Amino acid sequence: MPISNADLQELAKVSLDEYLRNMPVDQIATERPLLKKLMEGRKTFLGAKQNVVENIRKSYGSNFNWAYGEEAVQFNKRNTTESAAFPWRRAVDGLYLDHDRLFANGIKVREGQRGEFKLEQNEKVQLVNLLDEQMESLKEGFFAKLDLELHRDGTQDADAIAGLDVLVSTAPAIGVVGGLDSATAAYWRNYAKTAIATGTVGTLAQEMEAAWRRCIKNGGSPNFILAGGKFIDAYRKEIVVTNQANAGNVKTLDAGVGSGVNTGLYFKGVEIIWDPQFEELDALTTPTVPWEKRCYFLNTKHLKYRDDDMDIVTPTRPHDILAMYAMVNLRCALSVNRRNAQAVLSIA
């Protein structure tokens, strides 16, 4: 039997709802480690005229002096804060399923009110299976693209948000970020060290130590380390493993450590996570500093992702096209309130 167009739209919305709305963090695939980490600290975005605004302290404005006896106390008028504004943007994705494709799968769609037609059980199973595949592809495609865009600098599209590449920049003294000019605001620069030589064992670890100290000085220890494959390979060579316990016994040694994107390699007790998207970014563009050679020391206390929850829509089809439409909307922004608590390094 046929299915009404109204029932088809309702079924599509329910399927999307099951796949997308209020997804728990742990359902974000671990091969998207940046998105997963940002989702852990996700803030609900309730709306703003144009920007997400971060209030930042640029100085203490201290007028500390020594005084004795009748020496006059010096007073000053302090201007210690600034506002960094990060525009929010709307991410969208959508699909359509034409009625002829449904008909080819044994499902006939008829114009009519809900409940006017009722599918046979085998038809319903076939339709649900077809919709599930479409919705799964929509979900995976949306989050894969969102994760990729959260890495980029925002120049790829007029409506794109600023991502990791600009918030934690390889050239931190260049550019306006959040409305503040990094060239003049020294406090508004992350730490960056590029083209680190790896020919001598110990050099890379020393540079990582220097970056770590700068982060601690300005905002606390980083809690998330994200790196590309080439950087991870170079860091692995810095570590010499010795095993002399029970030397006379037969042992099994495994040169591979970690599992999946978890490398099993640590710095200061924080695991270094491999980000597969770095390869995609190098293939997508030709950056001055290759992503695969980068390593980020991130303090997610000062790096926040916000969105307004997924909006699921089943638009009314055009009068001249026989198809079912489904789409998702998500307003989001990525902001930082202490750039100098973040660091990026890269090898030569």
| DSSP per-residue letters across 236-305 | HTT------TTTTS-----S--SBTTEEEEEETTEEEEE-THHHHHHHH---SS-GGGEEEEE-TTSEEE
Buried/exposed code over 95-121 (b: 16+ C-beta within 10 A; e: otherwise): bebebeebeeeebebeeeeeeebebee
Residue in 300, 227, 260, 275 with CA at minimum distance from that of residue 39: 300
Residue in 133, 144, 117 with CA at minimum distance from that of residue 12: 133
Q: What is the pLDDT of residues 33-74, one digit of tens each?
A: 999 999 999 988 776 678 888 888 888 888 888 888 888 888
Q: Please state, in angstroms and rounded to a whole number, the distance separating the CA atoms of residues 312 and 11.
A: 12
Instruction: Name every residue whose Cβ is closer than 8 Å to that of residue 54 and which is 6 or more positions away in sequence.
Output: 83, 84, 85, 86, 178, 335, 336, 337
pLDDT for 237 beyond 70: yes
Q: What is the pLDDT of residues 117-155, one digit of tens each?
A: 777 787 777 888 888 888 888 888 899 999 999 999 999
pLDDT for 24 beyond 50: no
Q: pTM for the whole thing? A: 0.87
pLDDT for 250 beyond 80: no
pLDDT for 342 beyond 60: yes
Q: What is the pLDDT of residues 279-327, one digit of tens each?
A: 999 999 899 999 999 999 999 999 999 998 888 888 888 889 999 898 8
Band (pLDDT 50/70/90 cuts) for residue 233 is very high
What three-state secondary structure class fits 220?
coil
Per-residue three-class SS string for 73-131: CCCCCCCCEEEEEEECEEEEEEEEEEHHHHHHCCCCEECCCCCCCCCCHHHHHHHHHHH
pLDDT for 254 beyond 80: no
Q: Which residue has the tokens 């996700």?
A: 42
Residue in 231, 228, 254 with CA at minimum distance from that of residue 241: 254
- Write down the pLDDT at residue 25: 45
Percent of the chain with pLDDT over 70: 92
Residue in 345, 333, 348 with CA at minimum distance from that of residue 225: 345
Higher-pLDDT residue of 53 and 249 is: 53
Q: What is the pLDDT of residues 256-267, one digit of tens each?
A: 778 889 899 999
Tokens of 344: 């990026």
Q: How many CB atoms lie within 10 A of CB 317?
A: 17
pLDDT for 29 beyond 70: no
Cα radius of gyration rounded to whole Å, the chain: 26
DSSP label of 187: G
- What's the rounded mean pLDDT across residues 161-173? 97
- Write down the pLDDT at residue 159: 93
- What's the rounded mean pLDDT across residues 145-167? 95
Torsion (CA) 320, 321, 327, 333 in degrees, nearest 10: -60
Band (pLDDT 50/70/90 cuts) for residue 5 is confident
Percent of the chain with pLDDT over 90: 51
Cα–Cα separations (whole angstroms), residue 20 to 16, 61, 139, 168, 323: 6, 48, 7, 30, 22
Contact status, residue 269 vs residue 41, Cβ threshold 8 Å: no
Band (pLDDT 50/70/90 cuts) for residue 246 is low
Q: What is the pLDDT of residues 68-81, one digit of tens each?
A: 888 888 888 888 88
- What's the rounded mean pLDDT across residues 273-279? 96
Count the alpha carbons within 13 Å of 22 in the hemisphere toward its beta carbon: 2
Tokens of 38: 């940002």
Q: What is the pLDDT of residues 183-224, one digit of tens each?
A: 999 999 999 999 999 999 999 999 999 999 999 998 889 999
pLDDT for 244 beyond 70: no
- Average pLDDT taken over every residue of the chain: 87
Residue in 20, 14, 5 with CA at minimum distance from that of residue 98: 5
Beta strands at 51-57 and 81-87: parallel, antiparallel or unpaired: antiparallel
Band (pLDDT 50/70/90 cuts) for residue 227 is very high
Instruction: Name every residue whose Cβ is closer than 8 Å to that of residue 113 and which is 6 or more positions away in sequence.
Output: 4, 6
